[in-house]
Amino acid sequence: MLITSLGEDMVLLVEQASPDPFAAGIFDGVTPFFSPTQVHSKMKAAQYTKYGPPEVIRIVDIESPQPKPNEILVRVQATTVNRTDCGFRSAEYFISRFWSGLLRPKYTVLGNEFAGDVEAIGSEVTSFSPGDRVFGYNDERFGGHAEFLVIAENEAIAIIPSTLTYKEAAPLLEGAHYALCDIRAANVQPGQDVMVYGATGAIGSAAVPLLKHVGARVTAVCNTKNVDLVRSLGADVVIDYQTDDYTRTDQVFDFIFDAVGKSSFGQCKPLLKPKGIYISTELGKRGANIFYALFTPLLKGRKVLFPIPSIDRSDVLYIRELAEKGLFKPVIDREYSLHDIVAATTYVESGQKTGNVVIMM
Ligand X SMILES: NC(=O)c1ccc[n+]([C@@H]2O[C@H](COP(=O)([O-])OP(=O)(O)OC[C@H]3O[C@@H](n4cnc5c(N)ncnc54)[C@H](OP(=O)(O)O)[C@@H]3O)[C@@H](O)[C@H]2O)c1
Q: Which residues bind ligand X (CB under 6 A)?
A: 82-84, 175, 178, 198, 200-204, 221-223, 241, 259-262, 281-282, 309, 351-354
Residue 217 or residue 353: which is nearer to ligand X going by CB? Answer: 353
- Please answer whether residues 342 and 357 qualify as being in contact, where contact means their C-beta atoms are separated by less than 8 angstroms: no
Residue 120 or residue 323: which is nearer to ligand X going by CB? Answer: 323
Q: How far is the CB of 229 from ligand X (least distance, A)?
A: 10
Residue 67 or residue 261: which is nearer to ligand X going by CB? Answer: 261
Q: How far apart are alpha carbons 69 and 77 in whole angstroms?
A: 23
E strands present in the chain: 2-6, 10-14, 42-47, 58-63, 71-81, 113-122, 133-137, 148-152, 156-159, 193-197, 217-222, 237-240, 253-258, 272-280, 303-305, 332-337, 356-360
- Please answer whether residues 27 and 111 qualify as being in contact, where contact means their C-beta atoms are separated by less than 8 angstroms: no
Burial status of residue 94 (CB atoms within 10 A of its CB: 0-12, 13-18, 19 or more): exposed
Q: How far is the CB of 313 from ligand X (least distance, A)?
A: 20
Question: What does the DSSP 8-state code read for residue 162?
Answer: T
- Please answer whether residues 119 and 148 qualify as being in contact, where contact means their C-beta atoms are separated by less than 8 angstroms: yes
- In the chain, the amino acid numbered 101 is G
Residue 46 or residue 81: which is nearer to ligand X going by CB? Answer: 81
Residue 4 or residue 354: which is nearer to ligand X going by CB? Answer: 354
Q: How far is the CB of 245 from ligand X (least distance, A)?
A: 12
Which H or E element spans position 316? helix 313-324
Q: How far apart are alpha carbons 178 and 296 in whole angstroms?
A: 22
Q: How far apart are alpha carbons 311 and 346 in whole angstroms?
A: 27
Residue 164 or residue 220: which is nearer to ligand X going by CB? Answer: 220
Residue 299 or residue 308: which is nearer to ligand X going by CB? Answer: 308
Q: Of the candidates 239, 257, 261, which has an alpha carbon nearest to the alpha carbon of residue 248?
A: 239
Residue 204 or residue 276: which is nearer to ligand X going by CB? Answer: 204
Q: How far is the CB of 8 from ligand X (least distance, A)?
A: 40
Q: How far is the CB of 289 from ligand X (least distance, A)?
A: 10
Cβ atoms < 10 Å from Cβ of 313: 16
Walk across the sheet containing 303-305 and list its strands: 237-240, 217-222, 193-197, 253-258, 272-280, 303-305
Q: How far is the CB of 318 from ligand X (least distance, A)?
A: 19
Q: How far is the CB of 183 from ligand X (least distance, A)?
A: 14
Residue 72 or residue 115: which is nearer to ligand X going by CB? Answer: 115
Cβ atoms < 10 Å from Cβ of 189: 11
Which residue's Cβ lies closest to ligand X? Answer: 201
Q: How far is the CB of 235 from ligand X (least distance, A)?
A: 13
Q: How far is the CB of 346 from ligand X (least distance, A)?
A: 13
Question: What does the DSSP 8-state code read for residue 146?
Answer: B
* Cα–Cα separations (whole angstroms), residue 39 to 45, 184, 233: 17, 44, 44
